[in-house]
Chain A
Amino acid sequence: GAGVSQSPSNKVTEKGKDVELRCDPISGHTALYWYRQRLGQGLEFLIYFQGNSAPDKSGLPSDRFSAERTGESVSTLTIQRTQQEDSAVYLCASSLSGTGNSPLHFGNGTRLTVT
């Protein structure tokens, strides 16, 4: 069916507000990943979900960032009290499993601008 879907595609928010970014992975994909790409910089890993659990949260930059996944499907990345340095494209990817040779499938990202 459809690929990885992210919403919104663009989000402008004021500094200090909370934002929620959504990712709908490909149906049946047990592994889900969040990445961040700041303007002019490389991609950074944020968090990995296997099912509804997050065994690897090592990339979350601060405690203002959190994520959850429900129903082994949709995931939400929440950024509290946004700061200007949070401005970036947030990308989600999913794969059939978290190990082995399952290729990653990326969404088109959410462009977050904090003013």
Chain B
Amino acid sequence: KNEVEQSPQNLTAQEGEFITINCSYSVGISALHWLQQHPGGGIVSLFMLSSGKKKHGRLIATINIQEKHSSLHITASHPRDSAVYICAATNYGGSQGNLIFGKGTKLSVKP
């Protein structure tokens, strides 16, 4: 069992739909990251959070430390949101970038 599990693996949505991607982890963490990897391979850091909720535009990330669970929500999805979304955890006490990565969720938003 991976220490960071994401679901679903693949997700197809229609433009405008509300999207949720889930991430569960089994290790103690100091931070949880959400990354976006575009088809060309470039990776962008969307959020880094250790508690509560963060919002950036149409993206919202939440984390529940007690339940060891995080979610990434996309409101009013758009085809340009199509990408692989990766959840990654920083082990508690480890260096920030020593991340344990989930396998990613491939999102495809149809017009």
Contacts and interface: CB of A to CB of B under 8 A. Distances in A.
Given A43-B88, A43-B101, A48 B95 contact: yes
Main secondary structure of the interface of A (DSSP, over half): strand
Interface size class of B (residues with CB under 8 A): 20 to 34
Nearest to B41: A109
Interface stretch (B18-26, B43-51, B57-65): B43-51
Interface string A94-115: 0101111111111011010000
Q: Which of B40, B41, B86, B104 has the most CB of A within 10 A?
A: B41
A91 interface: yes
A35 B45 CA distance: 14
Interface string B30-45: 0101010000111111
A67 to B, nearest CB: 13
Interface string A39-62: 001111100101000011011000
Interface residues of A, number: 31
Contacts of B88: 43
A56 B94 contact: yes
Q: Which of B31, B41, B95 has the most CB of A within 10 A?
A: B95
A111 B31 CA distance: 28
Interface in A27-80: 31, 33, 35, 41-45, 48, 50, 55-56, 58-59
Interface of B: 31, 33, 35, 40-45, 48, 86, 88, 94-104
Given A45-B100, A98-B95, A108-B42, 14 more contacts: A31-B95, A31-B97, A33-B97, A50-B95, A56-B95, A58-B98, A59-B98, A95-B96, A102-B96, A103-B45, A103-B48, A105-B45, A106-B35, A111-B41
29 contacts: A31-B95, A33-B97, A35-B99, A41-B103, A42-B104, A43-B99, A43-B101, A44-B101, A45-B97, A45-B99, A48-B97, A48-B98, A50-B95, A55-B95, A56-B94, A56-B95, A56-B98, A95-B96, A97-B96, A98-B95, A101-B48, A103-B48, A104-B33, A104-B45, A104-B48, A104-B97, A106-B43, A106-B44, A109-B42
